[in-house]
Structure 1
């Protein structure tokens, strides 16, 4: 890692943050002036419902909820959200996958202000590095085709909506805790005197140390160190034209395996220890539950990620019935990594452009039409496997061009219907393959229907059905296939994954109660999955049978008093055997939660308890041993567990707030309370993916929030 660049980056962050409030004078400082509100094109379109699809079912997480959860990154922010699960795919590198409607992590598309800004590669290590500072709302839309500009979202989309400046000022949030937990964020915003221009500068640093629950010298949860910076500028050229530019930069470092200060002194020493060769044994008595005695590199996984992203949008109202929205984004994602002696470097460049035209045909029909184009090039290499004939680079070229049209029909105030259809040309080429033609060259038609029906003042139904697709292009889906230096790695992908999904929800809202029942069914053809050829070489292939999942959930909240709100939810996911065979890590199939929120004078308390019942891991092919001789099998019937989080805040005044909280207050973690995620297979091979429960223990924190 380039430490000098870190210092420069942090200096730039500090300069930008403290300079921002000086750039624009606060209009609130002017007294005794008549206030006349003039709406720009963006505000007018939002008021008419054009910029947000209110028909499709969408869960919202606002900035206040993010604060109550003490969420530093995206995976923490949505981990307990209804219909979403964050899957930990590796105990060493900490790869996180966001699952919606029971689908896999690669079926979720991450948007920023409605524009796809995450590449194929960033879905694995990017979720823990997406800072929550400056996020106004997180919108979670379920189902294939949930976004007109993100058709690859078979499971759904997570849209990070930036906080919009409403006044000039800044907010500082600082917290520290055990296990070297740190979170420091600054949000500075300014508005010009004429209200035509705004600027926001967001910077965040968050980090936490490794966690070793069973104290054997090997971590189950890695070190995580993130730095993020984002600058957003908007300007109203006129009442009809708004320009927006956003620049984001982040750096993330992940290190798992040998515990720093115990079995190794530093990351540098760990990487250099490859020169020592292989130790005679990794653990005392060749048992993963005992003390680690191997060389540091033999269990080490290190991932350094750097991202840079640009986003430009133009919103122009042509007349009272016609508006144009044009966006362009460029993302560069670089991963430099080390997996137990196997080096892997990848650079992923993505460009995305779209143009939407909104046309109000009459009081009943709103037409949305447009096109988008995504071009992604990923290049990877590894020195360790360069001379292995069984290894095939996963470098690829990927492009998709699409046309879409949607009619939002509102015949009455009680009924809304939106019908959309996309036409996409998809090309994907694994450039290291010997084949002359592209692996994927297809033209697809993907329709989607959304209906919202107000049955009564208190009852609302939403129904959607739609098709989606995804090109399986990343080797990380192969469950650490690249780690085997002897067997290599191969890719055998020739079709897009094709899905059909149905979603229904029924909502009841009264004076004090709000309840929603949701049901979703999704089926997928050509689902990507890890297989092995006759030589035992891992192959990223595709299933020939159809996979499907039925998901349902019920959420209820009740305002008991003016100060106290209680809530609860239950969720269930039922996979067929085909879908189960594709998972490397067993997903959570059922869970339930209760929560409360209490406000009294200057005090604010929020708490959440999540319960996951016992389950049988054999349904997902779990088989492993604690000893290298394969005589002591790991348990497959695992117990239930509960996670309790809470946070207490006290407002000293309108500007300054102190808070204290604990995540996982009951201190449950798999390695200490159940079994280590480290395992040996029946051939004596070592792996780190016997995961079925949380891998990090109790985290206490103390902090303050200051507005100025």
Structure 2
């Protein structure tokens, strides 16, 4: 799996920066520099390629460095309106939640193009490298992106850093629990500035974490490796072509602690041949010493991902522009869940074409078509002979047509009205009873308004419809883990939503404040249930689910060197929505943060507070003992998380840094209770999760620009 060889890293790092380097010259004549903007820069300046009407949170490259974020989930975990839900203490699956919606309601884009499949939304988020990202754009609400209508909660758009000169950067860090991060970014620009290349390579890893020291980890080993190369060339002043290739490998291993309960991953997988142990824990208590065979608590996931993206941008004249993109993604998952193997290959092709027509200074028409074709094939050798098991293999196609009118009667007011028409088919191919489980034509309108009331006050309002086809078993809380009961799918409708979003921003001198409100309702929300034989079934709610969300964010420049910030968030779900969650979401949280810059020093810190909660609202029930005599607590305490980083600029090119994440060392297993549980029938599970499962992470490193 280790394809980041030294020779490849070296070539990525240095050849990219040097391939377009200007030839040296002894001529000291200073020439006048005349900047000629390409089509992309001109259109961005005119606002055509960037929809700034909708409420959008921005995280830039400097903020990513200050957070020491190696992957996407670390980068946005504490962003306003975003929560990253840990769905499993063994495999560490992460879901990105926007506006209080579930993780499957978030769509991840790369440079504005949907690049993540149904399958990658569950294990792919921890493996998306932050190296080479210029900005992360978080847009809230259904239909926030014209090309991603399935994003009922919103979209996360990863905008690649645009090369501006020949440069390279090396960032290396080490820390406790075998934390390692090495990232390299190289960029080159041709002498005539018509061509550019960027290349990134990143490897990051961290070891298992066992907070209660019983030999079973609460947070898994994670090892990621990524490379990406992007080429851009201006064929003329009016035409730009861009190509991107990316590849990533990720390995996750949780359960028996390596070097303690087991010696290796290979030994763990092979231990299935030993059969079942008489008991899993000393005294049959989940916080007791683990004495079972390694396979009985092991979860291993190996993910390989390859992606291609090609786009063409052509301006026919001052009024008419064409933007065409094609993406191909292959996502392969090989996994092991406590003796149950699961292999899946998900292939997706996506093509979109947009036509921008500037009718006049007040009207911009956007017309677009797109097509998504996704095929997922899965199998499990352990369940192949079980008649109650149905493979979740599917064929999924969506063809869409959309039009948007952007009306700007003055610099103080802007309105965008859009409508999408989609033809959707989805077929679980293992189900021989019906043809297509989903076969629908949908119409999804959206309205966005931005209004500058005053030079210091701005309102944004949006209302829109969205949809999503619930196709992945992973939404059902590890439904395939029971070899005897199997797993079934009973999905026949798309999830249909309507969302309302409003924000009010005040910006004046040293103060910036934003109040946001959101309401989303969903029909046919996917959920896990059990039939009369106890077999898990991926089905859908018959009642409507809804959630209210509001948040307030403040920042104040107290001194020239010191900026302070604070935020508060609240989410309120109805009972139907609560019943669909496998892991209780965080309903309230607040944070304070600071950034201090003085000469060569930079200090950033963030404190996040989550109040106490009652888990009964989300159906939590479990026991610490196999006899079901010691119920697990459902009234859980509040907690706080403190992160900080100190950076010192040793020279103009070299920065040294040190920091801690979760500096107060709070984690659920050590300070509250193990996420492991026994149910009322003595069955073992790993999902009694309501708080962070990894303790203090200290690190130090350096950043070298050259």
Q: TM-score, normalised by structure 1?
A: 0.99
What does 1:383-402 align with in structure 2 at a 5 Å threshold? Answer: 383-402=381-400
Number of aligned residue pairs? 704
Shift of 1:27: 8.3
What does 1:474-485 align with in structure 2 at a 5 Å threshold? Answer: 474-485=472-483
Measure, in 2, the Cα distance between the counterparts of 1:196 and 1:103: 42
Shift of 1:18: 2.3
SS for the counterpart of 2:12 is helix
Measure, in 1, the Cα distance between the counterparts of 2:67 and 2:4: 31
Mapped contact 1:218–1:299 kept (Cα < 8 A) = yes
For residues 548-591 of structure 1, what are the alpha-carbon distances to aligned partners after superposition, in whole Å with 9 as ceiling and x for unaligned?
A: 00000000000001000000000000000000000000000000
1:229 and 2:227 correspond: yes
Q: Which residue of 2 aligns with 1:258?
A: 256
Measure, in 2, the Cα distance between the counterparts of 1:673 and 1:8: 38
1:191 and 2:169 correspond: no
SS for the counterpart of 1:128 is helix
Mapped contact 1:298–1:341 kept (Cα < 8 A) = yes
Q: TM-score, normalised by structure 2?
A: 0.99
Shift of 1:14: 3.2
SS for the counterpart of 1:298 is helix
Measure, in 2, the Cα distance between the counterparts of 1:8 and 1:210: 23
Q: 1:14 aligns with which of 10, 13, 18?
A: 10
Structure 1 residues 300 and 142, CA, compared in 2 at 3 Å: closer, same or farther? same
Measure, in 2, the Cα distance between the counterparts of 1:655 and 1:134: 18
Mapped contact 1:405–1:420 kept (Cα < 8 A) = yes
What does 1:506-655 align with in structure 2 at a 5 Å threshold? Answer: 506-655=504-653
Q: 2:21 aligns with which of 25, 41, 44?
A: 25
Shift of 1:24: 1.2
SS for the counterpart of 1:335 is strand
Shift of 1:46: 0.2
For residues 496-522 of structure 1, what are the alpha-carbon distances to aligned partners after superposition, in whole Å with 9 as ceiling and x for unaligned?
A: 000000000000000000000000000
Mapped contact 1:177–1:699 kept (Cα < 8 A) = yes
Q: 1:90 aligns with which of 79, 88, 91?
A: 88
After superposing the two structures, state which structure 1 stretch, 428-437 or 42-51, moved more: 428-437
Shift of 1:15: 2.3
Q: 1:242 aligns with which of 240, 243, 246?
A: 240
- Name stretches of at least 5 consecutive residues in structure 1 with no aligned partner: none
Measure, in 2, the Cα distance between the counterparts of 1:341 and 1:662: 37
Measure, in 2, the Cα distance between the counterparts of 1:26 and 1:613: 57
Q: Which residue of 1 aligns with 2:315?
A: 317
Measure, in 1, the Cα distance between the counterparts of 2:338 and 2:558: 54
Measure, in 2, the Cα distance between the counterparts of 1:11 and 1:279: 47
Shift of 1:28: 10
Shift of 1:17: 2.1
What does 1:297-316 align with in structure 2 at a 5 Å threshold? Answer: 297-316=295-314
Shift of 1:20: 1.6
Structure 1 residues 364 and 11, CA, compared in 2 at 3 Å: closer, same or farther? same
Q: Which residue of 1 aligns with 2:660?
A: 662
Q: Which residue of 2 aligns with 1:488?
A: 486
Shift of 1:12: 2.7
Structure 1 residues 35 and 157, CA, compared in 2 at 3 Å: closer, same or farther? same
Measure, in 2, the Cα distance between the counterparts of 1:645 and 1:8: 30
For residues 659-683 of structure 1, what are the alpha-carbon distances to aligned partners after superposition, in whole Å with 9 as ceiling and x for unaligned?
A: 0000000000000000000000001
Mapped contact 1:611–1:640 kept (Cα < 8 A) = yes
For residues 432-467 of structure 1, what are the alpha-carbon distances to aligned partners after superposition, in whole Å with 9 as ceiling and x for unaligned?
A: 001242000000000000000000000000000000
Mapped contact 2:612–2:635 kept (Cα < 8 A) = yes
Mapped contact 2:139–2:156 kept (Cα < 8 A) = yes
Q: Which residue of 2 aligns with 1:671?
A: 669
Structure 1 residues 405 and 648, CA, compared in 2 at 3 Å: closer, same or farther? same
Mapped contact 2:141–2:499 kept (Cα < 8 A) = yes
Q: Which residue of 2 aligns with 1:163?
A: 161
1:212 and 2:210 correspond: yes
Mapped contact 2:614–2:636 kept (Cα < 8 A) = yes
Q: 1:67 aligns with which of 55, 65, 75?
A: 65
What does 1:323-472 align with in structure 2 at a 5 Å threshold? Answer: 323-472=321-470
Structure 1 residues 693 and 28, CA, compared in 2 at 3 Å: closer, same or farther? farther
Q: 1:176 aligns with which of 169, 174, 194?
A: 174
Q: 2:144 aligns with which of 140, 146, 151?
A: 146
SS for the counterpart of 2:316 is strand
Mapped contact 1:251–1:305 kept (Cα < 8 A) = yes
For residues 366-404 of structure 1, what are the alpha-carbon distances to aligned partners after superposition, in whole Å with 9 as ceiling and x for unaligned?
A: 100010000000000000000000000000000000000
Mapped contact 1:26–1:168 kept (Cα < 8 A) = no
For residues 313-349 of structure 1, what are the alpha-carbon distances to aligned partners after superposition, in whole Å with 9 as ceiling and x for unaligned?
A: 0000000110000000000000000000000000000
Shift of 1:13: 3.5
SS for the counterpart of 1:66 is helix
Structure 1 residues 379 and 567, CA, compared in 2 at 3 Å: closer, same or farther? same
Mapped contact 1:107–1:154 kept (Cα < 8 A) = yes
**Once superposed, which parts of structure 1, at least 4 consecutive aligned residues long, lie more than 3 Å away?**
7-11, 26-31
- Name stretches of at least 5 consecutive residues in structure 2 with no aligned partner: none
Measure, in 1, the Cα distance between the counterparts of 2:395 and 2:432: 15
For residues 31-76 of structure 1, what are the alpha-carbon distances to aligned partners after superposition, in whole Å with 9 as ceiling and x for unaligned?
A: 6222110011000000000011011110000000000000000000
Structure 1 residues 239 and 700, CA, compared in 2 at 3 Å: closer, same or farther? same
Structure 1 residues 149 and 667, CA, compared in 2 at 3 Å: closer, same or farther? same
Measure, in 2, the Cα distance between the counterparts of 1:358 and 1:10: 45
Shift of 1:22: 2.5
Mapped contact 1:28–1:167 kept (Cα < 8 A) = no
Measure, in 2, the Cα distance between the counterparts of 1:163 and 1:141: 19
What does 1:106-145 align with in structure 2 at a 5 Å threshold? Answer: 106-145=104-143
SS for the counterpart of 2:43 is helix
Shift of 1:106: 0.1
Shift of 1:26: 4.4
Measure, in 2, the Cα distance between the counterparts of 1:27 and 1:244: 25
Mapped contact 1:27–1:191 kept (Cα < 8 A) = no
Measure, in 1, the Cα distance between the counterparts of 2:8 and 2:442: 45
Mapped contact 2:12–2:200 kept (Cα < 8 A) = no
For residues 67-106 of structure 1, what are the alpha-carbon distances to aligned partners after superposition, in whole Å with 9 as ceiling and x for unaligned?
A: 0000000000000000000000000000000000000000
Measure, in 2, the Cα distance between the counterparts of 1:59 and 1:20: 31
Measure, in 1, the Cα distance between the counterparts of 2:373 and 2:342: 23
Structure 1 residues 123 and 195, CA, compared in 2 at 3 Å: closer, same or farther? same
